[in-house]
Amino acid sequence: MKRPDPFQALCPTRRVLDRIGDTWAVLILIALDDGTLRFNELRRRIENISQKMLSQTLKSLERDGLVRREVFPTVPVTVEYSLTELGRTLAQTVNQLTLWAEAHIGEVEAAQRRYDRGETSA
């Protein structure tokens, strides 16, 4: 079986890479990796995300099979979000990227300062 080529526009792998390249999706995955949360809990946890963007991103993640939405028949209705098993496997990878970012942020910021000063890397 031929391996998918993410450099091709119609490659299904590319759609998954687009999802994990989305800042809001990544932050939602990290937040839900800590446990089940309600909509407003997610919104409070993730600074600067609008209600509309949170709703859209949750729907996309649910459609992709990464997030589970559970509705409870209470008054008012309670809705909780959690990771599916598939979502959990992706969250592990995302957490590794987060650890890399935390370990190397100083180097990245130093490179940005050098670049902004017009210094070329050699």
Domains by residue range for the chain, with CATH? 12-116 (1.10.10.10)
Please tell me the pTM assigned to this model.
0.84
How many CB atoms neighbour CB 54 within 10 A? 19
What stretches of the chain adopt beta strand conformation (E)?
37-38, 67-72, 78-83
The yes-or-no verdict on residue 89 having pLDDT over 60 is yes
Each residue of 29-56: pLDDT tens digit?
999 999 999 999 999 999 999 999 999 9
The yes-or-no verdict on residue 57 having pLDDT over 90 is yes
pLDDT at 122: 54
Candidate from 27-31, 83-87, 91-95 with smallest mean pLDDT: 91-95
The yes-or-no verdict on residue 112 having pLDDT over 60 is yes
Q: Kindly state the percentage of the chain with pLDDT values over 90.
A: 78
How many CB atoms neighbour CB 108 within 10 A? 10
Name residue 82's beta-bridge partners: 68
How does residue 16 score in pLDDT terms, banded at 50, 70 and 90? confident
Q: Identify the burial level of 10 via C-beta atoms within 10 angstroms of its C-beta, where 0-12 means exposed, 13-18 middle and 19 or more buried.
A: exposed
Distance from C-alpha of 12 to C-alpha of 31, rounded to nearest angstrom = 26
The yes-or-no verdict on residue 121 having pLDDT over 70 is no
